[in-house]
Structure 1
Amino acid sequence: MKQTLLRKIDVIDAINTTTSLIYQFFPNIQVLPLFGNHDYAPANDFPDYETSIYNITFELWKKWIGKDQRETFCKGGYYIYRPADNSNITFLMLNTNIYYRFNNANFTDVNDPGQQFAYMEKILSEAEEKGEMVHIVAHIPPGVFERTPNFTWMRPEYNKRLLKIMIKYSKTIKWMLFGHHHTDTFHILKV
Protein backbone atom coordinates (compact mmCIF):
# COMPACT_ATOMS: atom_id res chain seq x y z
CA MET A 1 0.00 0.00 0.00
CA LYS A 2 2.79 2.43 0.94
CA GLN A 3 4.69 1.58 -2.29
CA THR A 4 1.55 2.24 -4.40
CA LEU A 5 0.98 5.57 -2.62
CA LEU A 6 4.57 6.60 -3.36
CA ARG A 7 4.16 5.67 -7.02
CA LYS A 8 0.91 7.67 -7.26
CA ILE A 9 2.68 10.67 -5.78
CA ASP A 10 5.50 10.21 -8.32
CA VAL A 11 3.04 10.01 -11.23
CA ILE A 12 1.14 13.09 -10.06
CA ASP A 13 4.44 14.92 -9.54
CA ALA A 14 5.59 14.02 -13.09
CA ILE A 15 2.26 15.15 -14.62
CA ASN A 16 2.42 18.37 -12.59
CA THR A 17 6.00 19.10 -13.65
CA THR A 18 5.30 18.42 -17.33
CA THR A 19 2.09 20.45 -17.27
CA SER A 20 3.82 23.39 -15.56
CA LEU A 21 6.62 23.40 -18.13
CA ILE A 22 4.19 23.34 -21.05
CA TYR A 23 2.19 26.20 -19.50
CA GLN A 24 5.40 28.13 -18.94
CA PHE A 25 6.95 27.75 -22.40
CA PHE A 26 3.77 27.54 -24.52
CA PRO A 27 1.31 29.78 -22.67
CA ASN A 28 -0.88 30.56 -25.69
CA ILE A 29 -0.95 27.12 -27.32
CA GLN A 30 -4.02 24.89 -27.08
CA VAL A 31 -2.94 21.53 -25.71
CA LEU A 32 -5.17 18.44 -25.75
CA PRO A 33 -3.53 16.16 -23.17
CA LEU A 34 -4.21 12.47 -22.63
CA PHE A 35 -2.87 9.73 -20.41
CA GLY A 36 -0.29 7.24 -21.66
CA ASN A 37 -0.30 3.73 -20.25
CA HIS A 38 2.43 4.62 -17.71
CA ASP A 39 0.60 7.71 -16.39
CA TYR A 40 -1.05 5.82 -13.58
CA ALA A 41 0.21 4.03 -10.48
CA PRO A 42 0.75 1.23 -10.60
CA ALA A 43 1.38 1.51 -14.34
CA ASN A 44 -1.25 -0.12 -16.57
CA ASP A 45 -3.85 -0.03 -13.80
CA PHE A 46 -6.43 2.47 -15.15
CA PRO A 47 -9.79 2.14 -13.38
CA ASP A 48 -13.23 3.07 -14.69
CA TYR A 49 -14.19 5.24 -11.75
CA GLU A 50 -13.10 8.47 -10.10
CA THR A 51 -9.63 8.32 -8.52
CA SER A 52 -7.14 10.77 -7.03
CA ILE A 53 -4.98 10.74 -10.18
CA TYR A 54 -7.96 11.53 -12.44
CA ASN A 55 -9.12 14.29 -10.07
CA ILE A 56 -5.73 15.92 -9.56
CA THR A 57 -4.86 15.69 -13.26
CA PHE A 58 -8.19 17.29 -14.16
CA GLU A 59 -7.35 20.25 -11.91
CA LEU A 60 -3.99 20.60 -13.71
CA TRP A 61 -5.46 20.28 -17.22
CA LYS A 62 -8.86 21.99 -16.90
CA LYS A 63 -7.51 25.21 -18.42
CA TRP A 64 -6.89 23.25 -21.63
CA ILE A 65 -9.79 20.80 -21.67
CA GLY A 66 -12.49 22.94 -20.06
CA LYS A 67 -14.18 22.84 -16.66
CA ASP A 68 -17.31 21.32 -18.23
CA GLN A 69 -15.40 18.09 -19.01
CA ARG A 70 -14.95 17.16 -15.35
CA GLU A 71 -17.56 14.37 -15.20
CA THR A 72 -16.16 12.17 -17.98
CA PHE A 73 -12.53 13.01 -17.29
CA CYS A 74 -12.76 12.13 -13.61
CA LYS A 75 -14.83 9.01 -14.38
CA GLY A 76 -12.42 7.55 -16.92
CA GLY A 77 -9.86 10.05 -18.23
CA TYR A 78 -11.72 10.95 -21.46
CA TYR A 79 -13.37 14.12 -22.77
CA ILE A 80 -14.28 16.14 -25.84
CA TYR A 81 -12.85 19.40 -27.09
CA ARG A 82 -14.60 21.75 -29.50
CA PRO A 83 -12.51 24.62 -30.89
CA ALA A 84 -14.14 28.01 -30.35
CA ASP A 85 -13.44 29.05 -33.94
CA ASN A 86 -15.05 26.02 -35.65
CA SER A 87 -18.29 24.52 -34.37
CA ASN A 88 -18.23 21.72 -36.98
CA ILE A 89 -15.28 19.86 -35.43
CA THR A 90 -15.15 17.79 -32.26
CA PHE A 91 -12.01 16.18 -30.86
CA LEU A 92 -12.95 12.97 -29.07
CA MET A 93 -10.13 12.40 -26.58
CA LEU A 94 -10.30 8.80 -25.37
CA ASN A 95 -8.60 6.89 -22.58
CA THR A 96 -7.98 3.63 -24.42
CA ASN A 97 -5.54 2.62 -21.67
CA ILE A 98 -8.68 1.26 -20.00
CA TYR A 99 -8.91 -1.32 -22.82
CA TYR A 100 -5.19 -2.22 -22.75
CA ARG A 101 -4.62 -5.95 -22.55
CA PHE A 102 -2.13 -5.37 -19.70
CA ASN A 103 -4.45 -3.12 -17.70
CA ASN A 104 -4.87 -4.79 -14.31
CA ALA A 105 -7.67 -2.63 -12.90
CA ASN A 106 -10.91 -4.15 -11.67
CA PHE A 107 -13.80 -2.46 -13.45
CA THR A 108 -17.17 -1.50 -12.04
CA ASP A 109 -18.61 -2.26 -15.50
CA VAL A 110 -16.59 -4.76 -17.56
CA ASN A 111 -18.92 -4.35 -20.57
CA ASP A 112 -18.36 -0.59 -20.81
CA PRO A 113 -15.57 0.59 -18.49
CA GLY A 114 -16.22 4.18 -17.48
CA GLN A 115 -19.18 4.25 -19.90
CA GLN A 116 -16.68 5.36 -22.53
CA PHE A 117 -18.21 3.26 -25.34
CA ALA A 118 -21.66 4.75 -24.67
CA TYR A 119 -20.11 8.23 -24.62
CA MET A 120 -18.33 7.63 -27.95
CA GLU A 121 -21.57 6.45 -29.54
CA LYS A 122 -23.43 9.50 -28.20
CA ILE A 123 -20.85 12.01 -29.45
CA LEU A 124 -20.46 10.31 -32.84
CA SER A 125 -24.21 9.92 -33.34
CA GLU A 126 -24.86 13.58 -32.52
CA ALA A 127 -22.08 14.68 -34.86
CA GLU A 128 -23.39 12.44 -37.64
CA GLU A 129 -26.91 13.90 -37.30
CA LYS A 130 -25.51 17.44 -37.55
CA GLY A 131 -23.11 16.65 -40.38
CA GLU A 132 -20.10 17.51 -38.21
CA MET A 133 -16.58 16.04 -38.20
CA VAL A 134 -14.97 14.14 -35.34
CA HIS A 135 -11.26 13.56 -34.83
CA ILE A 136 -10.30 10.79 -32.39
CA VAL A 137 -7.12 10.91 -30.30
CA ALA A 138 -6.04 8.20 -27.85
CA HIS A 139 -2.98 6.31 -26.66
CA ILE A 140 -3.53 2.57 -27.15
CA PRO A 141 -4.48 1.92 -30.81
CA PRO A 142 -7.07 -0.59 -31.95
CA GLY A 143 -6.35 -3.26 -34.53
CA VAL A 144 -3.44 -5.63 -34.91
CA PHE A 145 0.12 -4.60 -34.05
CA GLU A 146 1.97 -4.85 -37.34
CA ARG A 147 5.21 -6.12 -35.76
CA THR A 148 3.52 -9.10 -34.10
CA PRO A 149 0.98 -11.00 -36.20
CA ASN A 150 -2.40 -11.61 -34.57
CA PHE A 151 -1.51 -9.48 -31.53
CA THR A 152 -3.71 -6.59 -30.40
CA TRP A 153 -2.77 -4.10 -27.71
CA MET A 154 -6.38 -4.08 -26.53
CA ARG A 155 -8.28 -6.93 -24.98
CA PRO A 156 -10.00 -8.66 -27.91
CA GLU A 157 -13.56 -7.83 -26.83
CA TYR A 158 -12.73 -4.12 -26.48
CA ASN A 159 -10.70 -4.06 -29.70
CA LYS A 160 -13.63 -5.57 -31.60
CA ARG A 161 -16.17 -3.18 -30.08
CA LEU A 162 -14.05 -0.08 -30.71
CA LEU A 163 -13.40 -1.08 -34.33
CA LYS A 164 -17.12 -1.71 -34.81
CA ILE A 165 -17.93 1.81 -33.57
CA MET A 166 -15.23 3.32 -35.79
CA ILE A 167 -16.55 1.54 -38.86
CA LYS A 168 -20.15 2.46 -38.04
CA TYR A 169 -19.23 6.17 -37.90
CA SER A 170 -16.54 6.12 -40.60
CA LYS A 171 -18.23 8.95 -42.54
CA THR A 172 -18.16 11.17 -39.45
CA ILE A 173 -14.65 10.33 -38.20
CA LYS A 174 -12.14 12.27 -40.28
CA TRP A 175 -8.88 11.05 -38.74
CA MET A 176 -7.56 9.22 -35.71
CA LEU A 177 -4.25 9.58 -33.92
CA PHE A 178 -2.75 7.08 -31.47
CA GLY A 179 0.55 7.13 -29.63
CA HIS A 180 1.52 3.82 -28.07
CA HIS A 181 3.71 2.37 -30.84
CA HIS A 182 6.59 4.88 -30.58
CA THR A 183 6.90 4.62 -34.38
CA ASP A 184 5.17 6.03 -37.44
CA THR A 185 2.60 3.55 -38.65
CA PHE A 186 -0.61 3.77 -40.62
CA HIS A 187 -3.67 1.57 -40.26
CA ILE A 188 -6.60 1.43 -42.62
CA LEU A 189 -10.00 0.23 -41.45
CA LYS A 190 -11.93 -1.62 -44.11
CA VAL A 191 -15.58 -0.61 -44.11
Structure 2
Amino acid sequence: MSGIIFFTLPQTVKQSPPQQDIDYIIYTGDSVAHDLWKLSREKNTKVINRIGALLKEYFPDTPIIGALGNHESFPRDSFPPPEDASINRKFSNLWLYNLMTDQWQSFLPNVNISTEARISGSYSVLIQPGFRIISLNTNFCYKFNWWVMYKSNDPGNELRWLVRELLKAEDKREYVHIVAHIAPLYADCYEQWRHQFSRIVSRFSGTIRGQFYGHSHMTEVLLNYDVNDPKRPVGVQYLTPSNTPYHRLNPSYTLFYVDGNHPDSTRAVLDSDTYFLNLTAANAHDDVTWHLLYSARRDLSLRTLEAPDWHDLVRRMNKDPELTRKFHAYAVKMSDVLKDDCDRSCRRLLVCNMAESDRFLPRKCKN
Protein backbone atom coordinates (compact mmCIF):
# COMPACT_ATOMS: atom_id res chain seq x y z
CA MET A 1 0.00 0.00 0.00
CA SER A 2 1.27 3.45 -0.87
CA GLY A 3 0.89 6.59 1.20
CA ILE A 4 -2.21 7.83 2.95
CA ILE A 5 -2.03 11.57 3.42
CA PHE A 6 -4.23 13.54 5.80
CA PHE A 7 -5.01 17.21 5.23
CA THR A 8 -6.34 19.87 7.53
CA LEU A 9 -7.21 23.39 6.42
CA PRO A 10 -6.61 25.79 9.33
CA GLN A 11 -7.70 29.34 8.58
CA THR A 12 -4.90 30.89 10.60
CA VAL A 13 -2.28 28.99 12.59
CA LYS A 14 -1.27 25.35 12.79
CA GLN A 15 -3.08 23.17 15.27
CA SER A 16 -3.02 19.44 15.97
CA PRO A 17 -6.53 18.35 14.97
CA PRO A 18 -8.45 15.37 16.24
CA GLN A 19 -9.53 12.90 13.55
CA GLN A 20 -12.87 14.60 12.94
CA ASP A 21 -11.06 17.80 11.95
CA ILE A 22 -9.23 16.17 9.03
CA ASP A 23 -10.65 17.90 5.96
CA TYR A 24 -9.74 15.29 3.36
CA ILE A 25 -7.47 12.33 2.66
CA ILE A 26 -5.30 11.52 -0.34
CA TYR A 27 -4.61 7.85 -1.04
CA THR A 28 -1.87 7.51 -3.63
CA GLY A 29 -2.70 3.98 -4.73
CA ASP A 30 -1.01 0.57 -4.92
CA SER A 31 -3.68 -1.38 -3.10
CA VAL A 32 -2.43 -4.61 -4.69
CA ALA A 33 0.57 -6.33 -3.08
CA HIS A 34 3.88 -7.37 -4.67
CA ASP A 35 3.02 -11.08 -4.92
CA LEU A 36 3.11 -10.99 -8.71
CA TRP A 37 2.78 -14.77 -9.12
CA LYS A 38 -0.71 -14.68 -7.54
CA LEU A 39 -2.21 -11.79 -9.48
CA SER A 40 -5.22 -11.84 -11.77
CA ARG A 41 -7.83 -9.35 -12.84
CA GLU A 42 -10.27 -10.97 -10.39
CA LYS A 43 -7.86 -10.85 -7.46
CA ASN A 44 -6.87 -7.26 -8.16
CA THR A 45 -10.53 -6.27 -8.29
CA LYS A 46 -11.20 -7.98 -4.95
CA VAL A 47 -8.22 -6.32 -3.24
CA ILE A 48 -9.02 -2.85 -4.63
CA ASN A 49 -12.61 -3.14 -3.42
CA ARG A 50 -11.48 -4.39 -0.01
CA ILE A 51 -9.07 -1.50 0.53
CA GLY A 52 -11.76 0.95 -0.57
CA ALA A 53 -14.24 -0.56 1.88
CA LEU A 54 -11.73 -0.28 4.75
CA LEU A 55 -11.04 3.38 3.97
CA LYS A 56 -14.76 4.13 3.96
CA GLU A 57 -15.28 2.11 7.16
CA TYR A 58 -12.69 4.06 9.14
CA PHE A 59 -13.27 7.44 7.51
CA PRO A 60 -16.99 7.36 6.60
CA ASP A 61 -17.52 11.13 6.46
CA THR A 62 -14.13 12.28 5.18
CA PRO A 63 -13.61 13.01 1.46
CA ILE A 64 -10.91 10.78 -0.05
CA ILE A 65 -9.07 11.59 -3.27
CA GLY A 66 -7.54 8.51 -4.87
CA ALA A 67 -4.81 7.99 -7.45
CA LEU A 68 -3.94 4.99 -9.59
CA GLY A 69 -0.89 2.91 -8.63
CA ASN A 70 1.20 0.79 -10.95
CA HIS A 71 0.21 -2.43 -9.12
CA GLU A 72 -3.50 -2.05 -9.80
CA SER A 73 -3.37 -3.16 -13.43
CA PHE A 74 -3.16 -6.72 -14.72
CA PRO A 75 -0.60 -7.50 -15.95
CA ARG A 76 1.14 -5.24 -13.46
CA ASP A 77 2.58 -1.98 -14.86
CA SER A 78 0.58 -2.37 -18.09
CA PHE A 79 -1.04 0.91 -19.18
CA PRO A 80 -1.57 0.99 -22.95
CA PRO A 81 -2.41 4.31 -24.61
CA PRO A 82 -6.23 4.49 -24.73
CA GLU A 83 -6.14 6.94 -27.63
CA ASP A 84 -4.85 4.19 -29.94
CA ALA A 85 -8.06 2.46 -31.04
CA SER A 86 -6.41 -0.74 -32.33
CA ILE A 87 -4.43 -1.24 -29.12
CA ASN A 88 -7.38 -0.30 -26.93
CA ARG A 89 -9.58 -2.97 -28.53
CA LYS A 90 -7.13 -5.74 -27.61
CA PHE A 91 -5.47 -4.55 -24.42
CA SER A 92 -7.83 -2.01 -22.89
CA ASN A 93 -7.66 -1.05 -19.20
CA LEU A 94 -11.30 -0.03 -19.35
CA TRP A 95 -12.17 -2.60 -16.65
CA LEU A 96 -9.66 -0.98 -14.29
CA TYR A 97 -10.60 2.63 -15.04
CA ASN A 98 -14.29 1.88 -14.52
CA LEU A 99 -13.52 0.04 -11.28
CA MET A 100 -11.37 2.87 -9.94
CA THR A 101 -13.78 5.60 -11.07
CA ASP A 102 -16.65 3.92 -9.24
CA GLN A 103 -14.52 3.74 -6.11
CA TRP A 104 -13.31 7.33 -6.39
CA GLN A 105 -16.86 8.53 -6.92
CA SER A 106 -17.99 6.64 -3.80
CA PHE A 107 -15.23 8.47 -1.89
CA LEU A 108 -16.61 11.81 -3.14
CA PRO A 109 -20.40 11.44 -3.28
CA ASN A 110 -21.03 15.20 -3.32
CA VAL A 111 -18.86 16.09 -6.34
CA ASN A 112 -18.73 14.90 -9.93
CA ILE A 113 -15.53 13.22 -11.05
CA SER A 114 -14.58 14.25 -14.57
CA THR A 115 -15.24 11.77 -17.38
CA GLU A 116 -11.52 11.51 -18.15
CA ALA A 117 -11.28 9.05 -15.25
CA ARG A 118 -12.98 6.30 -17.30
CA ILE A 119 -10.76 6.98 -20.31
CA SER A 120 -7.25 7.31 -18.87
CA GLY A 121 -7.45 7.00 -15.07
CA SER A 122 -6.99 10.73 -14.44
CA TYR A 123 -9.62 13.15 -13.15
CA SER A 124 -10.24 16.65 -11.88
CA VAL A 125 -12.52 17.62 -8.98
CA LEU A 126 -13.51 20.94 -7.46
CA ILE A 127 -13.12 20.30 -3.75
CA GLN A 128 -14.19 23.74 -2.59
CA PRO A 129 -14.85 27.03 -4.38
CA GLY A 130 -11.52 28.19 -5.76
CA PHE A 131 -9.74 24.93 -4.92
CA ARG A 132 -9.32 22.03 -7.36
CA ILE A 133 -7.46 18.74 -7.08
CA ILE A 134 -6.19 16.96 -10.20
CA SER A 135 -5.40 13.25 -9.92
CA LEU A 136 -2.97 12.10 -12.62
CA ASN A 137 -2.31 8.61 -13.89
CA THR A 138 1.47 8.96 -14.01
CA ASN A 139 1.86 5.32 -14.98
CA PHE A 140 2.02 6.80 -18.48
CA CYS A 141 5.52 8.02 -17.63
CA TYR A 142 6.62 4.83 -15.83
CA LYS A 143 9.76 3.13 -17.12
CA PHE A 144 8.31 -0.34 -16.47
CA ASN A 145 5.18 0.42 -18.47
CA TRP A 146 6.46 -1.08 -21.72
CA TRP A 147 3.65 0.60 -23.67
CA VAL A 148 5.63 3.82 -23.39
CA MET A 149 8.06 2.29 -25.87
CA TYR A 150 5.17 1.78 -28.29
CA LYS A 151 3.97 5.37 -27.94
CA SER A 152 6.42 7.75 -26.27
CA ASN A 153 4.77 11.01 -27.39
CA ASP A 154 2.51 11.94 -24.46
CA PRO A 155 1.01 8.48 -23.79
CA GLY A 156 -2.64 8.72 -22.80
CA ASN A 157 -2.60 12.38 -23.94
CA GLU A 158 -1.98 12.95 -20.24
CA LEU A 159 0.04 16.14 -20.40
CA ARG A 160 -2.22 17.69 -23.02
CA TRP A 161 -5.23 17.04 -20.78
CA LEU A 162 -3.40 18.43 -17.72
CA VAL A 163 -2.59 21.68 -19.54
CA ARG A 164 -6.25 22.10 -20.53
CA GLU A 165 -7.36 21.57 -16.92
CA LEU A 166 -4.80 24.06 -15.62
CA LEU A 167 -5.79 26.65 -18.22
CA LYS A 168 -9.43 26.33 -17.12
CA ALA A 169 -8.42 26.59 -13.47
CA GLU A 170 -6.29 29.65 -14.20
CA ASP A 171 -9.16 31.28 -16.06
CA LYS A 172 -11.49 30.65 -13.09
CA ARG A 173 -8.82 31.76 -10.59
CA GLU A 174 -8.75 28.37 -8.92
CA TYR A 175 -5.73 27.06 -7.05
CA VAL A 176 -4.75 23.48 -7.83
CA HIS A 177 -3.13 20.58 -6.00
CA ILE A 178 -1.81 17.70 -8.12
CA VAL A 179 -1.79 14.13 -6.81
CA ALA A 180 -0.53 10.92 -8.41
CA HIS A 181 1.21 7.68 -7.58
CA ILE A 182 4.59 8.16 -9.29
CA ALA A 183 6.14 11.60 -8.85
CA PRO A 184 7.04 13.15 -12.22
CA LEU A 185 10.56 13.98 -10.98
CA TYR A 186 11.15 10.51 -9.52
CA ALA A 187 13.76 8.30 -11.19
CA ASP A 188 11.11 5.78 -12.32
CA CYS A 189 9.55 8.37 -14.63
CA TYR A 190 11.06 8.84 -18.11
CA GLU A 191 13.38 11.84 -18.34
CA GLN A 192 11.62 13.36 -21.36
CA TRP A 193 8.23 13.20 -19.63
CA ARG A 194 9.77 14.67 -16.48
CA HIS A 195 11.02 17.67 -18.42
CA GLN A 196 7.70 18.28 -20.14
CA PHE A 197 6.05 18.21 -16.72
CA SER A 198 8.65 20.72 -15.50
CA ARG A 199 7.64 23.01 -18.34
CA ILE A 200 4.01 22.78 -17.20
CA VAL A 201 4.89 23.53 -13.57
CA SER A 202 7.02 26.49 -14.70
CA ARG A 203 4.12 27.90 -16.72
CA PHE A 204 1.46 27.33 -14.02
CA SER A 205 3.52 27.82 -10.85
CA GLY A 206 1.07 30.49 -9.69
CA THR A 207 -1.84 28.04 -9.99
CA ILE A 208 -0.25 24.80 -8.72
CA ARG A 209 0.07 25.19 -4.95
CA GLY A 210 0.85 21.61 -3.94
CA GLN A 211 2.00 18.26 -5.36
CA PHE A 212 1.64 14.93 -3.52
CA TYR A 213 2.85 11.50 -4.61
CA GLY A 214 3.69 8.01 -3.32
CA HIS A 215 5.44 5.00 -4.93
CA SER A 216 8.87 5.51 -3.35
CA HIS A 217 7.82 4.08 0.06
CA MET A 218 10.06 6.69 1.70
CA THR A 219 9.43 10.31 2.64
CA GLU A 220 11.18 12.49 0.06
CA VAL A 221 11.09 15.97 -1.45
CA LEU A 222 11.94 16.84 -5.07
CA LEU A 223 12.11 20.38 -6.42
CA ASN A 224 10.85 21.82 -9.70
CA TYR A 225 12.97 24.62 -11.17
CA ASP A 226 11.88 27.12 -13.77
CA VAL A 227 12.88 25.77 -17.19
CA ASN A 228 13.55 29.36 -18.34
CA ASP A 229 15.46 30.30 -15.19
CA PRO A 230 16.92 27.03 -13.85
CA LYS A 231 18.21 28.58 -10.63
CA ARG A 232 14.70 29.60 -9.55
CA PRO A 233 12.72 26.96 -7.59
CA VAL A 234 9.02 27.01 -8.52
CA GLY A 235 7.49 23.79 -7.18
CA VAL A 236 7.75 21.14 -4.48
CA GLN A 237 6.93 17.47 -5.04
CA TYR A 238 6.19 15.65 -1.78
CA LEU A 239 6.77 11.90 -1.96
CA THR A 240 4.83 10.60 0.99
CA PRO A 241 5.79 7.41 2.86
CA SER A 242 4.07 4.05 2.56
CA ASN A 243 1.89 2.36 5.15
CA THR A 244 3.74 -0.90 4.55
CA PRO A 245 7.25 -1.81 5.76
CA TYR A 246 8.47 -2.62 2.22
CA HIS A 247 11.26 -2.91 2.49
CA ARG A 248 13.22 -2.69 5.78
CA LEU A 249 11.12 0.36 6.64
CA ASN A 250 8.53 1.33 9.24
CA PRO A 251 4.88 2.10 8.34
CA SER A 252 4.20 5.81 8.14
CA TYR A 253 1.75 8.53 7.12
CA THR A 254 1.83 12.32 6.76
CA LEU A 255 -0.51 15.05 7.97
CA PHE A 256 -0.34 18.26 5.92
CA TYR A 257 -1.62 21.65 7.03
CA VAL A 258 -2.89 23.76 4.13
CA ASP A 259 -4.05 27.38 4.00
CA GLY A 260 -7.81 27.00 4.33
CA ASN A 261 -11.10 28.74 3.67
CA HIS A 262 -10.82 32.50 3.91
CA PRO A 263 -11.01 35.29 1.33
CA ASP A 264 -7.24 35.56 0.80
CA SER A 265 -6.41 31.85 0.93
CA THR A 266 -3.46 30.74 -1.19
CA ARG A 267 -4.02 26.99 -0.61
CA ALA A 268 -0.31 26.84 0.15
CA VAL A 269 1.14 24.02 2.24
CA LEU A 270 1.87 25.55 5.65
CA ASP A 271 3.48 22.64 7.47
CA SER A 272 3.53 18.85 7.74
CA ASP A 273 3.85 16.23 10.47
CA THR A 274 4.97 12.70 9.61
CA TYR A 275 4.19 9.82 11.96
CA PHE A 276 5.68 6.32 12.07
CA LEU A 277 5.20 2.97 13.77
CA ASN A 278 8.41 1.48 15.17
CA LEU A 279 8.01 -2.19 14.27
CA THR A 280 10.91 -3.31 16.48
CA ALA A 281 9.30 -1.76 19.55
CA ALA A 282 5.82 -2.91 18.55
CA ASN A 283 6.97 -6.53 18.24
CA ALA A 284 9.04 -6.42 21.43
CA HIS A 285 6.30 -4.94 23.62
CA ASP A 286 3.16 -6.05 21.75
CA ASP A 287 2.11 -2.39 21.64
CA VAL A 288 1.10 -0.49 18.50
CA THR A 289 1.88 3.16 19.16
CA TRP A 290 2.39 5.77 16.45
CA HIS A 291 5.04 8.43 17.12
CA LEU A 292 5.83 11.76 15.51
CA LEU A 293 8.78 11.25 13.18
CA TYR A 294 9.31 14.91 12.39
CA SER A 295 7.57 18.22 11.90
CA ALA A 296 8.88 19.88 8.74
CA ARG A 297 9.20 23.53 9.74
CA ARG A 298 10.40 22.86 13.27
CA ASP A 299 12.82 19.99 12.69
CA LEU A 300 14.25 21.19 9.37
CA SER A 301 14.32 24.89 10.36
CA LEU A 302 12.18 25.93 7.40
CA ARG A 303 10.74 29.43 7.38
CA THR A 304 7.90 28.26 5.12
CA LEU A 305 7.25 25.22 2.96
CA GLU A 306 7.50 27.22 -0.25
CA ALA A 307 9.98 26.10 -2.93
CA PRO A 308 12.67 28.74 -2.15
CA ASP A 309 12.85 27.57 1.47
CA TRP A 310 13.23 23.92 0.43
CA HIS A 311 15.95 25.07 -1.97
CA ASP A 312 17.65 26.79 0.97
CA LEU A 313 17.47 23.48 2.89
CA VAL A 314 19.28 21.78 0.00
CA ARG A 315 22.06 24.37 0.24
CA ARG A 316 22.31 23.91 4.01
CA MET A 317 22.38 20.12 3.68
CA ASN A 318 25.16 20.39 1.11
CA LYS A 319 27.31 22.13 3.73
CA ASP A 320 26.16 20.24 6.83
CA PRO A 321 26.64 16.44 6.87
CA GLU A 322 24.78 16.08 10.18
CA LEU A 323 21.71 17.82 8.76
CA THR A 324 21.81 15.49 5.75
CA ARG A 325 22.09 12.41 7.99
CA LYS A 326 19.11 13.69 9.95
CA PHE A 327 17.08 14.12 6.75
CA HIS A 328 18.10 10.63 5.63
CA ALA A 329 16.84 9.15 8.92
CA TYR A 330 13.50 10.87 8.28
CA ALA A 331 13.48 9.63 4.68
CA VAL A 332 13.84 5.98 5.76
CA LYS A 333 11.26 6.48 8.51
CA MET A 334 13.73 5.84 11.36
CA SER A 335 14.33 2.29 10.16
CA ASP A 336 16.52 0.44 12.65
CA VAL A 337 18.35 -1.10 9.70
CA LEU A 338 18.81 1.98 7.51
CA LYS A 339 18.69 5.15 9.62
CA ASP A 340 22.42 5.24 10.43
CA ASP A 341 23.56 3.91 7.07
CA CYS A 342 24.29 7.03 5.01
CA ASP A 343 27.90 7.65 4.04
CA ARG A 344 29.30 10.53 2.00
CA SER A 345 28.10 9.04 -1.29
CA CYS A 346 24.60 8.53 0.15
CA ARG A 347 24.47 12.13 1.42
CA ARG A 348 25.57 13.52 -1.94
CA LEU A 349 22.99 11.45 -3.79
CA LEU A 350 20.26 12.60 -1.41
CA VAL A 351 21.07 16.29 -1.93
CA CYS A 352 21.58 16.03 -5.68
CA ASN A 353 18.35 14.12 -6.28
CA MET A 354 16.37 16.85 -4.55
CA ALA A 355 17.81 19.60 -6.72
CA GLU A 356 18.43 18.13 -10.17
CA SER A 357 15.83 15.49 -10.95
CA ASP A 358 15.10 17.18 -14.30
CA ARG A 359 18.09 15.97 -16.32
CA PHE A 360 17.39 18.44 -19.13
CA LEU A 361 18.25 21.40 -16.90
CA PRO A 362 21.83 22.47 -16.03
CA ARG A 363 23.36 20.36 -13.29
CA LYS A 364 23.51 21.83 -9.80
CA CYS A 365 25.80 19.16 -8.34
CA LYS A 366 29.26 19.54 -9.80
CA ASN A 367 31.82 16.74 -9.74
> TM-score normalized by structure 2?
0.45
- Distance in structure 1 (CA, Å) of the matches to 2:47 and 2:63: 20
Structure 1 residue aligned with 2:192: 157
- In terms of fraction of residues, the more strand-rich structure is 2
Q: Work out whether 1:87 is the aligned partner of 2:140.
A: no
What value does the CA root-mean-square deviation take over the aligned residues? 2.5
Q: Where in structure 1 are there 5+ consecutive unaligned residues?
A: 146-151
Number of equivalenced pairs: 180
**Are residues 1:131 and 2:164 paired?**
no
| Alpha-carbon spacing, 1:65–1:109, altered in 2? closer, same or farther (3 Å) | farther
Larger radius of gyration: 2
Identity fraction in percent: 27
Q: 2:59 aligns with which of 18, 26, 41?
A: 26
What displacement does 1:108 show? Answer: 8.5
**1:15-53 deviation digits (Å, cap 9, x = unpaired):** 011111212222111010111111111111123325211
Q: CA deviation at 1:106?
A: 6.4
Residue number in structure 1 paired with 2:94: 51
Residue 82 of structure 1 aligns to a residue in which SS?
strand
**Distance verdict in 2 for CA 1:77–1:171, change over 3 Å:** same
Are the equivalent residues in 2 in contact too, given 1:107–1:113 (CA < 8 A)? no
CA distance in 1, matches of 2:181, 2:78: 14
Find the counterpart in structure 2 of residue 40 from structure 1.
Answer: 73
Q: Relative contact order (C-alpha < 8 Å, sep 6+): which is higher?
A: 1
AA at the equivalent of 2:173: G
Q: What is the match of residue 215 of structure 2?
A: 180
Match of 1:98 in 2: 140
Contact 2:135 2:180 in 1 (8 A): yes
1:69 aligns with 2:116: no
The aligned amino acid for 2:104 is W
Cα-to-partner distance string for 1:116-175 (whole Å, 9 max, x where unaligned): 2121101111222232211000111122x5xxxxxx211222122112111111111001
1:93–1:137 contact (8 Å) kept in structure 2: yes
Amino acid at match of 1:167: S
